[in-house]
Amino acid sequence: MPKSNYRIGHGYDVHRLEEGADCWIGGIKLEHTKGAVGHSDADVVVHVMCDALLGALNLRDIGFHFSDTDKKYEGIDSKKLLKKVIDMVRKKNYEVKNYLKDHRIFMMTTIMALTFGGNWKIYDPDSIKTSFPSFLKIVKSLGGKIK
């Protein structure tokens, strides 16, 4: 039987919601009265991606590599952690395939934003406007505001 070069990982992450905390989901800051609380920006979608990639290569989990007791990760943008994880994957001579399809991330983000309910806004939309104009149409159709 031939050996497969594919690896599949599973990610799981939970954060408590709190009034006044920033709400980061899938690398996008949403305006909402509640947000996730954590040592970093508490972006559960990005954390799940990190854990899935690390797990696929048996590299433990996000907490092992980016401890919540380490001050250098306090408040860090989780996308920076994901970049470091992708670098770890590449150092093991693997490439990420079939996972980081941006349109899927943005679709998940939209669903999560709707789950929160109420008004929400996307911050720092310039990169989205350039690369994902269809996502902006979805956001506007759902009552989201582009700030």
CATH number at residue 26: 3.30.1330.50
Helices and strands (H, E) in the chain, number of each type: 6, 6
Q: What is the token pair recorded at 11?
A: 């990610």
Q: What are phi and psi of 24, to 5 degrees?
A: -105, 125
Residue 83 belongs to some domain of the structure: yes
Look at residue 125 in the predicted model and tell me its pLDDT: 57
Residue 50 belongs to some domain of the structure: yes
Helices (H), 5-132: 44-56, 62-65, 78-91, 102-116, 126-131
Q: What is the pLDDT of residues 71-83, one digit of tens each?
A: 999 999 898 898 8
Q: What is the pLDDT of residues 95-133, one digit of tens each?
A: 876 654 555 555 555 555 555 444 445 555 565 555 555
Closest CA to 83 of 35, 58, 49: 49
Residue 140 belongs to some domain of the structure: yes
Look at residue 83 in the predicted model and tell me its pLDDT: 87
Task: Work out how many domains the chain is built from and give that number.
Answer: 1
- C-alpha 22/C-alpha 103 separation (Å) is 23
Q: What is the pLDDT of residues 3-62, one digit of tens each?
A: 678 888 888 889 999 999 998 887 778 878 888 999 999 998 889 889 988 999 999 999
Closest CA to 31 of 119, 140, 105, 110: 119
Q: Maximum distance among all alpha carbons in the chain?
A: 55
Cβ–Cβ < 8 Å for 116, 32: yes
Look at residue 122 in the predicted model and tell me its pLDDT: 55
Q: Is 33 exposed, middle or buried (0-12, 13-18, 19+ CB in 10 A)?
A: middle
Per DSSP, the three-state class of 125 is coil
Residue 74 belongs to some domain of the structure: yes
Residue 40 belongs to some domain of the structure: yes
How much is the pTM? 0.69
Residue 136 belongs to some domain of the structure: yes
Q: Is 34 exposed, middle or buried (0-12, 13-18, 19+ CB in 10 A)?
A: middle
Residue 64 belongs to some domain of the structure: yes
Residue 10 belongs to some domain of the structure: no
Look at residue 118 in the predicted model and tell me its pLDDT: 47
Name the residue range of residue 100's domain: 17-146
